[in-house]
Structure formats: structure tokens, C-alpha cells
Structure 1
Amino acid sequence: MTKFDEATQAVRVDVTTYDVCLDPGYVVGGPLNGGYLMAVMLRAAVDASPYEHPVSTSAQFLRAPATGPAQVRLEPLKTGRTAAMARVTLVQDGAAYIEALVTTATLTGEPPGWTAGPPVAMPPPEECLPLPEPKPGSNMTLNARMDLRFDPPTVGWFTGTPTGRPESRAYFRLSEPQDPDPYVLAMAVDVLPPVVFSAGYRGWAPTVELTWHLRALPAPGWLTLFGQGRLVRDGWFDEEVEVWDAAGNLVAQARQLARLGRG
């Protein structure tokens, strides 16, 4: 079992309850990464389902949980011939922290009937840029768990030269040797810096709602993340992310609504 598998493990207590331990290695500026938290919840949802894959997740982030013990509670809503639906809640100290509706199904891996191509041509990973390592004692522990390499124009915000457009593009993989799977994809859709950084905004930008879809099981190798926003207004922004695998397949799509950070 890899560190990521251990950090997202859900241990069954009964038919609707799973014990989890939220790992301090997935912190971003204090709070735990939302994609990591979804991966934890989806472990429980899939374990309790007759189907193998979390094909659709819509999560409301009510508040930021602390690291340490928590529970995932399930409320089955429907089980059909091809899919099952459940309400999935992350609970800590008796309070709900994330509420999600999760649909599970079993993907067969058949070829697509039709597919568009990636939205932008990316340079190869060796021509892309990692961000500097965080300083010792930093509250950005997630950085050590992953390898993100950015398309150079979209990381200009780090040096004070943002493009003026809400966008971010990068290659992604875990730091440890592990092929991507649906749980890695759950984290991948939420690991890019907020796209509004490239539009000139800074500060923590908390996710309020995030919906993502698993479109195919990913091939081994790098994942490519394409993020963009459509509107920044009234203290809110949206972020859309596509995830493509190393074989050129669209494997995940996400959209989230978040509060505008205050730096």
C-alpha cells in the first residue's frame, strides 16, 4: 500500500459508517486539500457500493476539517442495474464538514465513440516549471506529496507577471511511484493553484462547491491538467479543469465555485 492509499484509507465500522484519519501531509496553507478529502470520502462510497468506480461527485464544502480522526457516513439513495447513488458526509466531532452526492458505476474501458482533443498544446514536461520547494515548517505539505510542472506562461503570477487571464496548466503525478487511479484523479482536479492567481488575484480561495466526473480509467504516467475560469465577480469565481492521461484520453472533468481570495 502506498502512502497515498494509506492516507485515504476508509475502515468499515458498519454498513453506513467508515472511520478515516485525515493526514497532515495534504495541507495547503492550513486547510486540507479538497481533492484529497474527496478521495477519502470516495474510498468509503465505493467500498459500500456494488459498483467499482466513482463516476460523479458533487461536494459542498461546509467548513474545513482538522487533521486526525473523522468518519464518513453514507445514506444510500438508489441502486439500479448500472449505477448507485448515495449521500456521503464527512463528519468530525459530531459535525458535518463536507456533504456530497456520489454516483458509482463500473467503467468498462471501451474506446470513446467521439472525443475532442486537449484544449491547448503543452510543451513536454522537461520544459515545464516546478514551483520552488516550500521552506521547512511551511504549511504547504501537499507540495511534497506531488510533482506539478507548469506551462511557463501560466505560472507568471509567482514572479509578479500574471497573464491577466484566469488560467493554469500543468503536468501532475504523485511524488511516490504510483499509477493514477480514480482516487488520484479526485485529488488531481483540485491541485492547481487557483486560476485567478493568473488574473492578478492572491490569497486563500476556499472552494464552496465542486463537481467532478470520472470519464475513463487513466493510463500510467503523467496527467495533464488544464484549468480556466469564465467569470470573476462579486467576490466569487469559477474554475473548470480537464484532466488528460498519458495516452491522450480525457479522464476527468471538474467545475468548482470558490470565494475570491484576499491576499
Structure 2
Amino acid sequence: MTKFDDATQAIRVDDTTYDVCLDAAYTMGAAIHGGYLMAVMLRAVVDDSPHEHPVATSAQFLRVPKLGPATVRVDRIKSGRTTTVTRATMVQDDTPFLTAFVTTATLRPYDPGAEPDGLTWEAPARATMPPIEECRALPAPKPESNMALNAQMELLFDPPTIGWLTGEPTGRPESRAYFRMAEPQDPDPFVLALAVDALPPVVFSAGARGWAPTVELTWYLRALPAPGPLVLIADGDLIAEGWFDENVEVRDSAGRLVAQSRQLARLGRG
């Protein structure tokens, strides 16, 4: 079991309740990372479902939870041969902090030699990444910033998309990076839940700064990924009236589209 597996485990209490413990290693300042929270919740949902994989998750971030014990309550709304739909809510002190509708199904394991199953078509990547050796990490955060999350994963960025660090943002909402966990671990659906929310907000490249809290995030698991680093490609369509959207495409080391997400967030104040 990796540190991430341990930090996201959910322990069944009864037919509708799981105990979890929110880990300080996944904090960003005073907040707990939203992708990590989704991964914790999805552990409970998948354990309760007859299907193995969370293929669609629509999460509402209601409040910022505290570190430590929490509860995930699951309610199966519909369960059939190919899919199960579950409503899940993360609770502390009887107060809901995160709620989601999750559809689970069972996907085929990654097999580079497998024949396509029925009709297939895939759009090209939204952007082309440079070779990984030409990409750059962000500077290490100052200890007082309490950005513990940075130590749990490695992000190597397409250099233009972090021009905001030196006062040279591209002027467009965008971010692109290679992603892998700091501890060696092949990507799985729970790692993908973290990855779809792992990039700095795309509005940084448009010239904004400051905390940009996610209000709603929907993501799809499209295939089980090949071993190796992931490519994250993010952009946005509209920044207006204190709100922005963010679209993320995740491709595996074989170049396949394995996850997609779209979120709505508040514009931070730097």
C-alpha cells in the first residue's frame, strides 16, 4: 500500500457509512485539496458498488473540511448490470462538506495489444507538450506557506504556462504539465481524481492570482491508464463576474485520453 492509498482509505462501518481520515499531507495552506477529497470519497463509493470504476463524478464543494476524522455516507440510487449510481456525502459533526453523484461501471484493464471493442474515435490532444526534459517544476514553496501537497506529486510544466511566476503570463487561461505521484505508483482511478484537479488554476496564466476555490467539478474516467506519467492539458472558456471555468484533459503514457474534467470556480484575490 502506498502513502496515497493509505491516506485515501475508507473503512466500512455499516451499509451506508464509511469512516475516513483527512490527511495533512494533502493541504494547500488552510484548505484540503479538492482532488484528494474526491479520491477519499470515491474509495467509499467503489467499495460499496458492485462495479469497480468511477466513470462519472459530479462533485459540489460545500465547505472546507477540517483535517482528521470524517464520514462518507453512501446512498445507492440505482444499480444495474452495467452501472450503479450513488449519491455520496462527506460529513463532519453532522455538517456536509462535499457531496457528489457518482456513476460506477467496470472498464477493461489496460492492454496495449487488445482489439478495439466496437466503434472507436478519439479527438487529437488539445495541445502538444514538449519533451519532458524541456519542462520545469515550480519553485519549492516556502515552509510557512503550508503547501504540503507539493511533496506528494511531481508536476513538470510546459514553460510558457508558468510565465506568471516571472510576471509574464500568456494572457490566456491555460496550464500544461506532466504529472506523477512522488512515491512510485502507477496511475489508477483514484490517482486520476487527484490529477484532474492538480494544476494551478488556469486563470494564473490569464493574469489573476490568489486562492481560486472550486465550487463544482465533474470528471469522467474514460479508460484505465497505462503505467507511467500522465499529461495534463488545461484551458478555460470564460472569465467573468468573479467566476471562471477550467477544462482538463488527461492522457496516459501511451497517449490515450483517460480522463476529462470541467469545473466552475471563483476568481481568487491576490
Equivalent-residue separation in structure 1 for 2:243 and 2:66 (angstroms): 25
Q: CA RMSD in A?
A: 0.9
Equivalent-residue separation in structure 1 for 2:264 and 2:122 (angstroms): 26
Q: TM-score by structure 2 length? A: 0.96
Gaps of 5+ in 2: none
How many aligned residue pairs are there?
263
Equivalent-residue separation in structure 1 for 2:262 and 2:96 (angstroms): 22
Correspondent of 1:242 among 226, 232, 249: 249
Residue 251 (structure 1) aligned with residue 258 (structure 2): yes
Q: Which residue of 1 aligns with 2:122?
A: 115
Residue 209 (structure 1) aligned with residue 216 (structure 2): yes
Residue 64 (structure 1) aligned with residue 64 (structure 2): yes
Equivalent-residue separation in structure 2 for 1:262 and 1:228 (angstroms): 20
Equivalent-residue separation in structure 2 for 1:108 and 1:5 (angstroms): 22
After TM superposition, give the deviation of residue 154 of structure 1 in Å: 0.3
Mapping for residues 3-152 of structure 1, pairs under 5 Å: 3-109=3-109, 111=116, 113-152=120-159
Q: Which residue of 2 aligns with 1:192?
A: 199
SS at match of 2:133: helix
Q: Identical aligned pairs, as a percentage?
A: 69
Q: TM-score by structure 1 length? A: 0.98
Residue 2 (structure 1) aligned with residue 7 (structure 2): no
Equivalent-residue separation in structure 2 for 1:4 and 1:81 (angstroms): 31
Please identify runs of 4+ aligned residues in structure 1 that moved more than 4 A: none
After TM superposition, give the deviation of residue 160 of structure 1 in Å: 0.9
After TM superposition, give the deviation of residue 170 of structure 1 in Å: 0.3
After TM superposition, give the deviation of residue 206 of structure 1 in Å: 0.3
Which letter maps to 1:58? S
Equivalent-residue separation in structure 2 for 1:48 and 1:74 (angstroms): 8
Q: Which residue of 2 aligns with 1:170?
A: 177
Equivalent-residue separation in structure 1 for 2:54 and 2:44 (angstroms): 10
Which letter maps to 1:47? D
Give a deviation string over 1:194-217, Cα, whole Å, max 9, x none: 000000000000000000000000
